[in-house]
Structure 1
Amino acid sequence: MTTVIATERSVQGSSASRRLRRAGRVPAVVYGVGTQAASIELDHNSIYHALRKEEFHSSILDLDVAGKVEKVLLRAVQWHPYKQQVLHVDFQRVNEKQSIHVKVPLHFINADVSPAVKLGNAIINHVLNELDINVLPADLPQFIEVDLSALEVGQSIHLSELKLPKGVTLPNHGNEEDPAVVTALAPLVSAEDEAEGAAE
């Protein structure tokens, strides 16, 4: 479990936030679970490095505010348009007994041994890179694996074919009932290659 250390933020407003950022701090807010939203601040370097880790975005975090620890999810991050600077962070409190709606990354495995790549030189096209799921906090997976070992050229793996971890269910995915997650596209054949093939 990752712990995020924070302190309470008493002053608010854009000028106060600018002063915080100049001092190497990041304004943040934590909300949800029937309690009032709380304004907090974080150390910039700590949160910057934490945000570089994929699992930080899809894990239940321990938020320690002046010694009081709450279970939270990272919900939003605002970055500076061109500097490597975190401007604001939103956390949401979680209730261990209530299902949460989150996005988790997809990890594609065994592409190199799939017939599509090994025999067909196919181009693997990741249609989705993350998945919306519903899950209890205790069952939240850091990622979901998509096994490509049986994928053939021209085939797709659809949402219904994924092996979901325990406790994970999928919300309605828009108009498409069973969207493709990954497809194996036949390699493009150039006119030169076609001409060579015909000559042979």
Structure 2
Amino acid sequence: MQFVAFERAKQGTGASRRLRNGGKTPGIVYGGAAAPQLIEVDHNALWHALKKEAFHSSVLDMELAGQTSKVLLRDVQYHPFKQLVLHVDFQRVDEKTKLHMKVPLHFSGAEESPAVKVDKCMVNPIVNELDVSCLPSDLPEFIAVDLSKLEKGSSLHLKDIKLPKGVTAVVRGSQKNPALVAVVPPAVEVEAAPAAPAADAKGKKGKK
């Protein structure tokens, strides 16, 4: 994905407020051999781009001062209640340096799995994204996960999925093979016990 940025000379709260009033979003680009650089981006174009999953997880082409460079979106600050982006951070990408990124998981095939189709289980994703390490050229937009083989009583772990070429998962802590998807058995329908016959309100009259 590509976007256009412009050089920003002034900084400070007042300058940023004037930018936002003019339909621009202040930002910064840092990393690599060059010094951090202040930028501004068209707010509406940025707002629509931020709605796209790929803008958050892909290497982006940033056009600045007639030159195009590779960057990653690293941070976005939103207004607490307005539809307004207050600030955005990008990091320059070195083609020879591995990245550490969160990549979305795209699940498919759950409805065709024996767990759902035969045993009426529920398939619940535990995580929706995965920490990975790879070179910029190998960074996937997303990782496809096939759930069509899931069975009742099973679960899907990290080692059960095939990662794209050049991509390795980054796992923290003692859990080296975390669960990604859980299979939940169907709730047992407990039939209500039949109500006891109502006692004769009038009762039987005893003999005098």
TM-score interval, smaller chain: over 0.9
Q: Distance in 2 between matches of 1:192 and 1:25?
A: 61
Q: Distance in 2 between matches of 1:57 and 1:84?
A: 18
The match for 2:206 is none
How far did 1:191 drift?
A: 2.8
The match for 1:179 is 178
Query: Quick one: percent identity of the two aligned structures?
Result: 55
Q: Secondary structure at the match of 1:192?
A: coil
The match for 1:163 is 162
How far did 1:116 drift?
A: 1.0
TM-score (norm 2): 0.89
Q: Which structure's CA Rg is the greater one?
A: 2
The match for 1:61 is 60
| Pair 1:189 & 2:192 matched | no
Number of matched pairs: 194
Q: Distance in 1 between matches of 2:101 and 2:81?
A: 27
Q: Secondary structure at the match of 1:75?
A: strand
How far did 1:70 drift?
A: 0.8
Q: Distance in 2 between matches of 1:188 and 1:181?
A: 22
Letter aligned with residue 8 of structure 2 = R
| Pair 1:11 & 2:10 matched | yes
| Pair 1:137 & 2:157 matched | no
The match for 2:198 is none
List alignment gaps of at least 5 residues for structure 1: none
| Pair 1:23 & 2:22 matched | yes
- 8 Å contact from structure 2 (residues 111, 117) kept in 1: yes
The match for 2:121 is 122
Q: Distance in 2 between matches of 1:154 and 1:14?
A: 56
More helix by share: 1
Q: Secondary structure at the match of 2:101?
A: strand
Return structure 1 stretches of 4+ with deviation > 6 angstroms: none
List alignment gaps of at least 5 residues for structure 2: 195-208
The match for 2:111 is 112
* C-alpha RMSD of matched pairs (Å): 1.4
